Amino acid sequence: MDNRNGVRVVSGREEDSCPGTDRNGLSRRQALGALASAAAAAGIAGAPAAAAPKRPVAPAGPAAKKAFIDDLIARMTVDEKVGQLRLISIGPEMPHAKLVEEVAAGRIAGSFNTVVRRDNRPLQEAAVKRSRLKIPLFFAYDVVHGHRTTFPIPLGLAASFDMTVIERMARVSAIEACNDSVDMTFAPMVDISHDPRWGRTSEGFGEDPYLVSECARASVRGFQGAAPDKPDTIMAAVKHFALYGAVEGGRDYNTVDMSPLRMHQVYLPPYKAAIDAGAGGVMVALNSVNGIPATSNVWLLQDLLRKQWGFKGVTVSDHGAITELTRHGVARDNREAAKLAIKAGIDLSMADQVYLAELPGLIASGEIKMAEIDARVREVLGAKYDMGLFADPFLRMGKQEDDPADVRAEDRLHREPARAIARETIVLLENRNQTLPLKKQGTIALVGPLAESGLDILGSWSAQGVPEQAVTVRAGIEKAIEGKARLVTARGANVLDDKKVVDYLNFLNWDKPEVVQDPRPIETMIEEAVAVAREADVVIAVVGELRGMSHESSSRVSIDMPGSQRRLLQALKETGKPLVVVLMNGRPLAVGWEKDNADALLETWYTGTEGGNAIADVLFGDHNPSAKLPISFPRSVGQIPTYYNALRIGRPYTPGKPGNYTSQYFEEEQGPLYPFGFGLSFSRFSLKDLKLSATRLKRGQTLIAEATLTNEGSYDGANVVQLYIADPYASIARPVKELKGFQKLTLKPGESRVVRFEIGEEQLKFINADLRQVVENGRFDVQLGLDSHDVLVESFELV
Ligand code: BGC
DSSP state string for 540-602 = EEEEE--GGGSSTT---S--BPPHHHHHHHHHHHHTTS-EEEEEE-SS--B-HHHHHH-SEEE
| Cα 733 from Cα 576, distance rounded (Å) | 50
Distance 523 CA to ligand 1 centre (A): 40
Q: pTM for the whole thing?
A: 0.94
Write the single-letter amino acid at 505.
L
As a whole number of angstroms, the distance between CA 462 and CA 464 comes to 6
Which of 88, 90, 142, 322 is the best mutation target for the ligand 1 pocket, counting ligand atoms within 8 Å of the beta carbon and taking the most? 142
Q: Closest ligand 1 atom, CA of 186?
A: 10
CA 461 to centroid of ligand 1, rounded, Å: 9
Please report, as a single letter, which amino acid is at residue 590: A
Residue minimizing CA distance to atom 2 of ligand 1: 318
In contact, 581 and 543? CB cutoff 8 Å: yes
Nearest CA to ligand 1 atom 6: 319
> Rounded to whole angstroms, how far apart are CA atoms 341 and 294?
9
CA of 144 to the centre of ligand 1 (A): 11
Best residue among 23, 243, 318 to mutate for probing ligand 1, ranked by most atoms within 8 Å of CB: 318
Q: Given the CA of residue 23, which atom of ligand 1 is nearest to it? A: 7
**Nearest CA to 564 among 496, 468, 641?**
496
DSSP 180-236: TT--EE---B----S-TTSGGGGGS--S-HHHHHHHHHHHHHHHHTT-TTSTT--EE
Cα separation values, 781 from 107, 454, 558, 738, Å? 59, 47, 37, 10
CA 737 to chain centre: 25
- Compute, in angstroms, the gap from residue 333 CA to the centroid of ligand 1: 23
Q: Measured in angstroms, how far is the CA atom of residue 244 from the centroid of ligand 1? A: 12
Q: How far is the CA of 266 from the centre of ligand 1 (A)?
A: 23
Q: Which of 624, 623, 625 is nearest to 603 (CA)?
A: 625
Cβ–Cβ < 8 Å for 713, 626: no
Please state, in angstroms and rounded to a whole number, the distance separating the CA atoms of residues 26 and 20: 9
Give alpha helix (H) positions in 27-182: 28-42, 61-74, 78-83, 96-104, 117-125, 154-159, 163-179
Query: Which residue has the CA at smallest separation from atom 7 of ligand 1?
Result: 319
The reply to whether omega before 56 is within 30° of 0 (cis) is no
CB 647 within 8 A of CB 510: no
Which residues, 6+ apart, have CB-to-CB distance to 232 below 8 Å? 174, 175, 178, 225
Euclidean distance between CA atoms 555 and 249, whole angstroms: 9
- CA 240 to centroid of ligand 1, rounded, Å: 9
Q: Residue 43 has what pLDDT?
A: 29
Task: Show the ligand 1 pocket: residues with CB < 6 angstroms.
Answer: 4, 142, 186, 239, 318-319, 552
Backbone angles phi, psi at 204, to 5 degrees: -100, -175
Indicate the pairing of strand 86-89 with strand 110-112: parallel
Mutate to test the pocket of ligand 1, among 145, 200, 319, 348 (most ligand atoms within 8 A of CB): 319
Residues 6+ apart with CB under 8 A from 392: 55
- Say whether 165 sits in a helix, a strand or coil: helix
Q: How far is CA 513 from CA 493, 504, 519, 589, in A?
A: 19, 10, 16, 25
CA-CA distance, 714 to 683, in Å (whole number)?
6
Q: Whose CA is nearest to atom 11 of ligand 1?
A: 319
Atom 5 (ligand 1) nearest CA: 319
- Residue bearing the CA closest to ligand 1, atom 12: 142
% helix / strand / coil in the chain, to the nearest 5?
35, 20, 45
Q: Quote the CA–CA distance of 33 and 741 in Å, as a whole number.
A: 55
Cα(142) to centroid(ligand 1), Å:
7
Q: Which atom of ligand 1 is nearest to the CA of 187?
A: 10
Q: Which residues contact 722 (CB under 8 A, 6 or more apart)?
A: 628, 677, 739, 741, 742, 784, 785, 786, 787, 788
Q: What is the pLDDT of residue 423?
A: 98
Kindly tell me the burial class for residue 269, based on how many C-beta atoms sit within 10 Å of its own C-beta (0-12, 13-18, 19 or more). Answer: buried
User: Residue 318 catalytic?
Assistant: yes
**pLDDT digits over 353-378, tens only?**
999 999 999 999 999 999 999 999 99
Rounded to 5 degrees, what are φ and ψ at 127? -70, -50
pLDDT for the residue numbered 3: 41
Atom 8, ligand 1: which residue's CA is nearest?
318
- Looking at ligand 1, which atom is closest to the CA of residue 5? 12
Q: Which of 142, 252, 318, 456 does the annotation list as catalytic?
A: 318
What is the four-CA torsion angle of 396, 401, 402, 407, rounded to 10 degrees? 100
pLDDT in tens, 482-501: 999 999 999 999 999 999 99
Residue pair 173/147 in contact (Cβ under 8 Å)? The answer is yes
Instruction: Give 318 Cα–ligand 1 centroid separation in angstroms.
Output: 6
Predicted confidence at residue 685, as pLDDT, reads 98
How far, CA to CA in Å, does 190 sit from each of 206, 280, 769?
Answer: 8, 15, 25
**CA-closest residue to ligand 1 atom 10:** 186
**Helices and strands (H, E) in the chain, number of each type:** 23, 28
pLDDT reported for residue 2: 35
Q: Tell me which residues of the chain have a pLDDT lower than 70.
A: 1-59, 509-510, 658-659
Q: Which string of b and e fits 450-466 if b means at least 16 CB within 10 Å?
A: bbbbbbbbbbbbbbbbb
Ligand 1: distance of its center to the CA of 87 in Å? 12
Residue 763 phi/psi, 5-degree rounding, is: -85, -10
Pocket test for ligand 1, best of 3, 252, 284, 552 (most atoms within 8 A of CB): 552
Burial of residue 776 (CB within 10 Å: 0-12, 13-18, 19+) is middle
**CA-based torsion, 197, 198, 200, 203: positive or negative:** negative
What is the distance in A from the centroid of ligand 1 to the CA of 286?
9
- Longest Cα pair distance anywhere in the chain, in angstroms? 82
